[in-house]
C-alpha cells in the first residue's frame, strides 16, 4: 500500500439552525458527519454524491475555509485543524483547490500571463523575468500555447480557463489538489480532455487528487478509490473497479443506474433514484437513505447502520450486510 499523504478522521461540520421567531439555536445541520478517508501519494480518491450531500463542505473544511467542529485532517502527519497561522500557510501551499467555475477564479481585468505570475509573486518566486519564464512553462504544462499569456479570461473557452486555473495551482508545486467539480460545467468532449490532462499531470508530478463530483462516470476514469457520500456521511468506499463491479449500498446502485448505458440488458434492471435528497435539517433516526431506499426494512427506520467491511477494502454502511 502507498504511503498516505492525507488522512481525514471523523470530520464533523455542523451548522447551527436558528428558530423562526427567536434567534436562538434550535438544532444543527450535520453537513459533514463523522467522515473519514485517506489518500496515498500520487493517488486519486473520488468523492461522489448528489448536490448538497456535503462533499464540497468536506473539501473546504479540510483546508479550513469552513470551520470543522471535530475530527482530524492529517496532512503528512500534521493536523491541519490544529495548525497556527504560519504552519497553516505553509501547508496550504502544498494543497491547492480548484472549483467548478474557472471564470470566477480569474480576474477579468488581468491578462492570463499576469494571473499566473501573480501566484508566483505571492510565493516569492524569483525576479520578474524568472516569473515570466516560469509562467510560459506553466501554460505549456497545461497544454496551451504561449500566445494565450497575453489574452484575457473572456477570450478563452471554459476548458481553456480551467487549464489556466490549473496552471496557477501548479505554480506552487502542490502535493495535493482538491478538485471540486472541475469539469461539470464543461462540454462532454472537453471534460474528457481535462480529465486526461489531470491524469497526465498526476503521473508527471506525482500529485494526489481529491476529486469531488456528482458524476460517477467522470470519477471512474481517474480514481483509484471512490467514496460515496449521502446526506453528510460516506456510505460506501471501495477500489474504483470493485465499486463498479459490485456496488453494494442501494444508493450507489441507484447512482450507477443513473449513468446512461448503451447496453439494452442493463436497462431492464435499472433502479431509479426517486425523489430529492431530503434536507439535512430533516435528518431523523435510522438510516439517512431510508426515505428513498428500495430495500428499506423495519430496522432502517430507527437504527443507523454501522460501517461493515465486506472484504478487500470495500466498506458499506447498510443493514443488508449486517451479520447477526
Please pick, from the candidates 75, 290, 314, 315, the single residue that binds ligand SF4 as defined by CB under 6 A. Answer: 290
d(CA 54, CA 32): 6
CB of 300 to ligand SF4, least distance (A): 3
d(CA 159, CA 183): 8
Q: Is 289 in the site for ligand SF4 (CB under 6 A)?
A: yes
DSSP structure string for 134-180: HHHHHHHHTT--GGGGGS-GGGS-HHHHHHHHHHHHHTT--SEEEEE
CA 194 centroid distance within chain: 16
Site string for ligand SF4, 48-87 (x = CB under 6 A): ----------------------------------------
d(CA 181, CA 53): 13
- Residues of this chain, 248-287, that bind ligand SF4 according to CB under 6 A: 249-250, 287
Over its C-alpha atoms, the chain yields an Rg (Å, rounded) of 21
Q: Is 318 in the site for ligand SF4 (CB under 6 A)?
A: yes
**Contacts of 65 by beta carbon, 8 Å cutoff, 6+ apart:** 97
Q: Let me know: does 110 contact 93? Beta carbons within 8 Å.
A: no
Site string for ligand SF4, 211-250 (x = CB under 6 A): --------------------------------------xx
CB of 307 to ligand SF4, least distance (A): 12
CB of 21 to ligand SF4, least distance (A): 35
Please pick, from the candidates 48, 229, 305, 315, the single residue that binds ligand SF4 as defined by CB under 6 A. Answer: 305
Stretch that binds ligand SF4, among 167-175, 182-190, 256-264, 295-303 (CB under 6 A): 295-303
Q: Any alpha helices (H) in the chain, and if so which ranges?
A: 55-62, 85-94, 102-105, 112-122, 128-141, 158-170, 188-205, 216-222, 240-245, 250-257, 264-268
Q: Compare residues 296 and 310 and give the one whose CB is closer to ligand SF4.
A: 296
Stretch that binds ligand SF4, among 40-48, 190-198, 238-246, 293-301 (CB under 6 A): 293-301
CB of 318 to ligand SF4, least distance (A): 3
Q: Is 161 in the site for ligand SF4 (CB under 6 A)?
A: no
Stretch that binds ligand SF4, among 3-11, 59-67, 81-89, 290-298 (CB under 6 A): 290-298
Which CA distances in Å does 233 have to 31, 255, 277? 8, 16, 13
Please pick, from the candidates 184, 217, 295, 307, the single residue that binds ligand SF4 as defined by CB under 6 A. Answer: 295
Angle in degrees, CA 108, 57, 201, rounded to 5: 60
Q: Let me know: does 248 contact 321? Beta carbons within 8 Å.
A: yes
Please pick, from the candidates 88, 185, 190, 320, the single residue that binds ligand SF4 as defined by CB under 6 A. Answer: 320
Pairing mode of beta strands 4-18, 70-75: antiparallel
Stretch that binds ligand SF4, among 101-109, 142-150, 158-166, 312-320 (CB under 6 A): 312-320
The residue ranges that bind ligand SF4 (CB under 6 A) are 249-250, 287, 289-290, 293, 295-297, 300, 305, 318-320
Amino acid at each position: 500500500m502507498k504511503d498516505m499523504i492525507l488522512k481525514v478522521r471523523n470530520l464533523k461540520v455542523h451548522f447551527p439552525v436558528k428558530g423562526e421567531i427567536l434567534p436562538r439555536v434550535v438544532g444543527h445541520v450535520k453537513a459533514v458527519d463523522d467522515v473519514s478517508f485517506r489518500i496515498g501519494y500520487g493517488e486519486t480518491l473520488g468523492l461522489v454524491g448528489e448536490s448538497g450531500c456535503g462533499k464540497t463542505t468536506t473539501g473546504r473544511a479540510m483546508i479550513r475555509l469552513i470551520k470543522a467542529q471535530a475530527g482530524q485532517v492529517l496532512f503528512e502527519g500534521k493536523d491541519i485543524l490544529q495548525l497556527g497561522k504560519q504552519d497553516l500557510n505553509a501547508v496550504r501551499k502544498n494543497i491547492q483547490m480548484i472549483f467548478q467555475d474557472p471564470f470566477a477564479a480569474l480576474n477579468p481585468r488581468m491578462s492570463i500571463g499576469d494571473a499566473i505570475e501573480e501566484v508566483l509573486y505571492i510565493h516569492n518566486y524569483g525576479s520578474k523575468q524568472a516569473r515570466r519564464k516560469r509562467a510560459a512553462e506553466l501554460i505549456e504544462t497545461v497544454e496551451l500555447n504561449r500566445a494565450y499569456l497575453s489574452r484575457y479570461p473572456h477570450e478563452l473557452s471554459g476548458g481553456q480557463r480551467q487549464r489556466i486555473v490549473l496552471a496557477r495551482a501548479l505554480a506552487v508545486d502542490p502535493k495535493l489538489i482538491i478538485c471540486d467539480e472541475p469539469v461539470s460545467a464543461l462540454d462532454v468532449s472537453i471534460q474528457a480532455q481535462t480529465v486526461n490532462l489531470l491524469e497526465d499531470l498526476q503521473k508527471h508530478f506525482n500529485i494526489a487528487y481529491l476529486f469531488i463530483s456528482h458524476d460517477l462516470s467522470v470519477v471512474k476514469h481517474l480514481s483509484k478509490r471512490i467514496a460515496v457520500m449521502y446526506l453528510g456521511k460516506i456510505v460506501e468506499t471501495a477500489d474504483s473497479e470493485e465499486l463498479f463491479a459490485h456496488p453494494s449500498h442501494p444508493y450507489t446502485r441507484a447512482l450507477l443506474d443513473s449513468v446512461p448505458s448503451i447496453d439494452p440488458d442493463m436497462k431492464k434492471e435499472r433502479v431509479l433514484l426517486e425523489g430529492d435528497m431530503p434536507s439535512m435539517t430533516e435528518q431523523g433516526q435510522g438510516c439517512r437513505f431510508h426515505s428513498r431506499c428500495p430495500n428499506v426494512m423495519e430496522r432502517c427506520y430507527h437504527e443507523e447502520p454501522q460501517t461493515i467491511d465486506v472484504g478487500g477494502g470495500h466498506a458499506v454502511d447498510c443493514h443488508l450486510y449486517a451479520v447477526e
